[in-house]
Every structure is written in structure tokens, then in C-alpha cells.
Amino acid sequence: MGGFLGFAWNQWTFKPKPLAKDRSLEGTTVLITGGNVGLGLEAAKEIVSHRPNTLILAVRDVEKGQVAKDAIAKESTPPDVNLEVWELDYDSYDSITAFGSRVQALPRLDYVLLNAGLKQMQYTTAKLGHETNLQINHLGTSLVSLQVLPALIKTAKATSKPSRLTIVSSEGHFWIPFKERTAPNILARMDEKDAFGRQMSRYYTTKLLNVLWARELASKVEKRDVVVNAVNPGFCYSGLHRHEKTGIIKLFLWAFGWTTQQGGYCLVDALVQHGDSHGAYLSEQKVVPPSKFVLSEEGKIAQKKIWKETFEIFRKEAPKANISELESNV
Ligand SMILES: NC(=O)c1ccc[n+]([C@@H]2O[C@H](COP(=O)([O-])OP(=O)(O)OC[C@H]3O[C@@H](n4cnc5c(N)ncnc54)[C@H](OP(=O)(O)O)[C@@H]3O)[C@@H](O)[C@H]2O)c1
């Protein structure tokens, strides 16, 4: 929808639903990044209740992942799901590459939910040197998407059924001016402190990059192999808002917020339902148009430019990630 009234209306009137009880995920392998807390954990619980063969929680802190695994096992009724915790830090190319090798050795991978993310309201740089929101939400998510692709495609060919890849974005992608779009190098400009902007604008810009990346990836991958989409989980209670120092966020959550569980329902819905959502953006559990900018000619040019600049960064900074090999899939 985009505008504030639309946002408020949807948050008030729409009630996200879990999957139908009889929706079976039997035999499948599902992977969720950032599955240890928040929306990712709630999505994991919902997935387990539909009995996949294996659920992998890919987390940056394995101890936290283990706690989450125990909580899921305790709550879930079917005890026969193989629950695994894997290490994955979006702020380390070594971690992403090691994770990628592990994923590529999986016998099967049907569903991947790229959910890990953060909202930094102050300018900081990540360990890898990029502005933190840019590193985690865009560069980390994008490199992981390329790492999981071969296993998703292999599984689709073996099962004769498309695998699924969902990238978690936000309605906030509608709400930013995206001034960096005219810079000679968009991502380099986003690393500069004076381009950071106010409040949540940088976070939302990286959520716009999630939509653009999902669309460009979808344009390069056959939908019979992998259905790629982006989802807005809605405005929900979670640790995401921990860096907001004013009380306004509490007021907003009280007035409009969905529960963490409801946000998890939206993620699972985008991941396993909507087989016709290749390249689409989902919100309130349905396919809806993304922002006007995304659909504009300018947006399409920015989408291709960001794709190219992202690959340039990976080639330069992540030599062990076998980018040329990964690029052969797209
Ligand atoms: N909550 C909302 O209202 C809302 C609205 C729109 C979109 N979203 C999106 O929903 C997704 C989940 O957020 P959430 O609300 O559940 O927030 P959250 O509770 O803060 O969870 C974020 C998850 O991302 C992980 N993460 C952060 N940095 C990471 C890194 N360097 N490497 C690997 N994992 C990392 C966190 O791990 P740790 O536990 O180790 O920090 C955690 O598992 C995010 O992509 C967010 O942008 C949320």
C-alpha cells in the first residue's frame, strides 16, 4: 500500500493466519536464517508443526541457536523433525562461504527463508567495513542467496517441483527518498557517513535493496527451478526495534503492532504458499505491487546497477566465495 493510512488500516484490520492444519511439508528440508529469535523463531515453530524432514536454523550465535532449538522441540507436537543449528554470520565472508559449502553438500533443500537482519539507527560500520545496515541486510542477504541457489536448483530438478527462496523486506521500502540512486556508485555512496540520513531511512533503503535484489534474482532464475519472492512481515513486536531510543516506537507498537507470531505466519505464508509469486512482493499474505519507484524505469535501472555493484564487491572482498561459479547459476 505504501502511505501511512494504508499501513495503519492494514495493521488494524488484517489478522495474519497460520497455514492450514493439513498443509504438509513432509520430506522437505527448510532453512531459516536468523531463526533463533523474533519472526524467524516464530516462523521456525510454524514450519515444524507442518512436519518437514529437516529444519536448519542458520544463526550467528550457535549457543543462542541451541536455546531456540530446545524451545522449538519443547513446544512442537511432532517430535520427529530433524532440527539442526548451523553457524552463519552475515558480517563474515568466511562464515558465509563455509555455510555455503555446507549447504551445497545437503542431499536436499526445498525452502530457504532469508530473514536475518537488523535496524541500526546510528551510522556504524560492520566488521567488514561497510555501513552496518548495508552489510547485514543487503550484502549478507545477497551473498547467502547466491550460496543457497545451487542446492535449491538441484532439489527442484530431482523433485520436478520448484524450490522456494523468500527474502524478508519491509513496507518501509515505500517510504524513503533513496537519494543515493543518482550516485555514480550507489553502494559506495551508501557507505559514506553523510549519506546515512535520519532515523530509519537507511534501514528502509536496505529493505528496498532486498526487493530489488529479489526481483533481479528472479529475472535470472527459471521459475520452474526456484520461485523467488520478497515479503513484508508487517509491523510486529520483536527485538528489531531495540535501537530506537524514543518512546514513540512503543506507542506505535501498542497502536498498530502485530504479535511476533503473526509476523512469523506472514513469512511462512510467503515461503510455502503462492507458487505463482516469482519475482513478486507479498504483504498481508497476498501478492501486491511494490513501491512505484521499484516499478519505474529509474527503479529498473537502479536494480541492474545494484546487482552489478554487489557482484563487484563480492569479487573484490570475498575471493573465497567462488563468485564466478555462483554467477553461472544466474
Ligand atoms: N519486526 C518488524 O516489525 C519487522 C518489520 C519489517 C521487516 N522486518 C524484518 O524481519 C526480519 C527479522 O527481524 P525481527 O523483527 O525478527 O528482528 P530480531 O528479533 O532482531 O531478529 C533478527 C535476527 O537476525 C539475526 N542477525 C542479525 N545480525 C546478523 C548477522 N550478522 N548474521 C546473522 N544473523 C544476524 C539476529 O541474530 P542475533 O539474535 O544473534 O542478533 C536475529 O536472529 C528482518 O529482516 C527485519 O528487517 C521486521
In a domain, 265, yes or no: yes
The response to whether residue 233 sits with its C-beta less than 6 Å from ligand 1 reads yes
Decide: helix, strand or coil at residue 1: coil
| Model confidence at 76: pLDDT above 80 | no
The response to whether residue 41 sits with its C-beta less than 6 Å from ligand 1 reads no
| Model confidence at 302: pLDDT above 80 | yes
Positions marked catalytic: 170, 203, 207
pLDDT band at 175 (very low <50, low <70, confident <90, very high): very high
The gap from C-alpha 217 to its chain's centroid, in whole angstroms, comes to 13
Beta strands in 22-126 (DSSP E): 29-33, 54-59, 82-87, 111-114
Which is the closest atom of ligand 1 to the Cα of 88?
33
In a domain, 95, yes or no: yes
Q: How far is the centre of ligand 1, averaged over its atoms, from the C-alpha of 122 (Å)?
A: 17
In a domain, 197, yes or no: yes
The response to whether residue 115 sits with its C-beta less than 6 Å from ligand 1 reads yes
Q: State pLDDT tens for residues 3-29.
A: 889 999 999 999 999 999 999 999 999
Q: What percent of the chain has pLDDT over 70?
A: 98
Q: State pLDDT tens for residues 107-150.
A: 999 999 999 999 999 999 999 999 999 999 999 999 999 999 99
Decide: helix, strand or coil at residue 25: coil
Q: Whose CA is nearest to atom 44 of ligand 1?
A: 117
Q: State pLDDT tens for residues 278-288.
A: 999 999 999 99
pLDDT for the residue numbered 328:
82
Considering its fold, how many domains does the chain have in total? Answer: 1
pLDDT for the residue numbered 77:
59
**Is the Cα torsion angle 242, 245, 249, 253 positive or negative in sign?**
positive
Q: Which residues contact 7 (CB under 8 A, 6 or more apart)?
A: 1, 171, 235, 256
| Model confidence at 272: pLDDT above 70 | yes
62-71 contacts, C-beta under 8 A, 24 or more apart: 62/86, 62/87, 64/36, 64/37, 65/35, 65/36, 67/36, 68/35, 68/36, 68/37, 68/41, 68/44, 71/41
Q: Evaluate whether 143 touches 317 at the Cβ level (below 8 Å).
A: no
In a domain, 290, yes or no: yes
CA distance 282 to 213: 15
The response to whether residue 236 sits with its C-beta less than 6 Å from ligand 1 reads yes
In a domain, 157, yes or no: yes
In a domain, 202, yes or no: yes
Q: What percent of the chain has pLDDT over 90?
A: 87
Sheet of strand 281-283: strand arrangement: 82-87, 54-59, 29-33, 111-114, 163-168, 226-232, 281-283, 286-288
Q: State pLDDT tens for residues 184-215.
A: 999 999 999 999 998 899 999 999 999 999 99
Please give the radius of gyration of the chain, using alpha carbons only, rounded to the nearest integer.
Answer: 18
Q: Which residues contact 160 (CB under 8 A, 6 or more apart)?
A: none
pLDDT for the residue numbered 250:
87
pLDDT for the residue numbered 46:
96
The response to whether residue 65 sits with its C-beta less than 6 Å from ligand 1 reads no
Q: How far is the centre of ligand 1, averaged over its atoms, from the C-alpha of 211 (Å)?
A: 16
- Averaged over 18-42, what is the pLDDT? 97
Domain that holds residue 304: 4-324
pLDDT band at 78 (very low <50, low <70, confident <90, very high): low
- Averaged over 289-314, what is the pLDDT? 97
pLDDT band at 1 (very low <50, low <70, confident <90, very high): low
Residue of 217, 220, 262, 259 lying closest to 112 (CA atoms): 217
Size (the chain), residues = 330
Which is the closest atom of ligand 1 to the Cα of 257?
3
Q: How far is the centre of ligand 1, averaged over its atoms, from the C-alpha of 38 (Å)?
A: 7
The response to whether residue 91 sits with its C-beta less than 6 Å from ligand 1 reads yes
Return the residue matching grid coordinates 542431499.
Answer: 107
In a domain, 330, yes or no: no
| Model confidence at 317: pLDDT above 90 | yes
Q: Whose CA is nearest to atom 31 of ligand 1?
A: 90
| Model confidence at 277: pLDDT above 90 | yes
- Averaged over 85-109, what is the pLDDT? 97
Which is the closest atom of ligand 1 to the Cα of 169?
7
- The CATH number of the domain holding residue 8 is 3.40.50.720
